[in-house]
A = this chain, B = another copy of it.
């Protein structure tokens, strides 16, 4: 665990209309990552995308569509690492069972986790009786 610098913790209803808020927050956070030596405009796009994909999945697989059902998105920035945790209350899944993209035979679905894995450095999904957590991280140097 590194030194925490700042964090943004968002709770939204399980409604896709909030995806753009989450994505925009990701873009804005990228602007503040002064230790990142790569292309910050690209990082802003990537964080927008990764947060959008991860949150969309949590919304899609939420247990109920009750207006009280929520998704929590926690973005933690440490000195050398950015960590995103998305908490869902759905049936969960096993990351190992997710099929890789079949480039020769493109499908309309299954690209979300591919983008997350491509743009970030590590992805982990943990299931507990109370909540499932998708944890994504990216080194910031």
Task: Please give, as numbers and ranges, the residues of chain B lying within 8 Å of A96 by CB-CB distance.
Answer: none
Question: Nearest Cβ distance between residue A141 and chain B, in whole angstroms?
Answer: 19
Question: Nearest Cβ distance between residue A40 and chain B, in whole angstroms?
Answer: 14
Q: Which of B8, B11, B24 contacts A6 (CB 8 A)?
A: B11
Task: Please give, as numbers and ranges, the residues of chain B lying within 8 Å of A25 by CB-CB distance.
Answer: 8, 25, 28
Q: Which of B11, B17, B21, B29 contacts A21 (CB 8 A)?
A: B29
Closest 10 CB pairs of A and B: A9-B9, A6-B12, A24-B28, A8-B10, A7-B11, A21-B32, A21-B28, A6-B11, A25-B25, A6-B13
Q: Does A5 have its Cβ within 8 Å of any Cβ on chain B?
A: yes
Task: Please give, as numbers and ranges, the residues of chain B lying within 8 Å of A20 by CB-CB distance.
Answer: 31
CB-CB contacts below 8 Å: A27-76 with B = 28-29, 31-32, 70
Q: Does A18 have its Cβ within 8 Å of any Cβ on chain B?
A: yes
A32 to B6, alpha carbons, bound, how many Å? 24
A17 to B7, alpha carbons, bound, how many Å? 14
